[in-house]
Structure 1
Amino acid sequence: MNLEQLFKLQNELNEKILACKHLDEGTLHSKKLLALLVELGELANETKSFKYWSIAKPSEKNIVLEEYVDCLHFILTLGLDKHYTHISPNIKPNDYSITEQFLNLYVDINDLMVTSSIDHYTTLFEDFLSLGLSLGFSIEEIQITYIEKNNINHKRQENNY
């Protein structure tokens, strides 16, 4: 995964959003954290991994992947905010259930909120990439879909989204 490229693309989008919306960067950190939590919930909802009461199948792969990269946008943004852009996450699958991985990511985000450190950020990134692998996405698919969604997000800003 070319993290340098992804951080660069995310930084360009973030700068466009700040300029288009006339936002003060200093007041946005908590909104970005909440946005990540909400997006993570939307991703979990599309996987249906926690819906033990339902026989509904997960959404189509492309829908789940789009929700996944929505989360990635905010994870990259949080890294940019704290200058945690020179990380080298260890990308590896794990044996945890999808539901357990989601719960673990909520813990990771909480840890980052309580004590923002590059170690907590790297753990969040690693656990998030591991979830992607567990959901059946390749690193290449994630990167390509991120770039496609990043382009859409740029167009949205240009059209007063």
Structure 2
Amino acid sequence: GLLDLFVQPTEPYVLLPLIALITLLCALGRHWRGALLCVAGTAIPVALNSWVLKPLFDRHLKDYLAYPSGHTVSLVAVLTVLVLLARPGTGRLVSGALAVLVTAVAGVGLVGLGYHYPIDVAGGALFAVAAVLGVSLSVSFLPVPRRAPERSDGSPPGGTSSGNPPAASPR
């Protein structure tokens, strides 16, 4: 029914192609930090949630670890990356508002279908935002590969015919 539709954005078959597309677009635009954020900003929160937080909190619902919600972490990590990649100003404001709306609707579905309690969804969302912001901060410190500027006259860089810088004077 409707609740099943609400949880669709949390599914891997929706999120993985979206991550691949965003990463590809960043790479095509030579936005290397953005591409790295797409991959690391989504994978690291999911891995930490699955391998560290869920076992640490050890809160079961039915026969699975429910806190924090892994589906929520996955969704909110992707949405947070999208918000960070959006243009500052209106683009970021609109993408942020849509991210909150999609997260709320997915949360209603996850709780309504009995997969999670509201605290599972809230904990997953808060952790995902914090983790992606941490990854984003880390990525911002990485050097960005730069190409040498192309010369308009077609001559090699360095001011010599060989492209090598002139040798130091023996004086």
Q: TM-score, normalised by structure 2?
A: 0.30
Q: TM-score, normalised by structure 1?
A: 0.31
Give the structure with higher Rg (CA).
Answer: 2
Instruction: Return the structure number with greater relative CO, CA threshold 8 A, min gap 6.
Output: 1
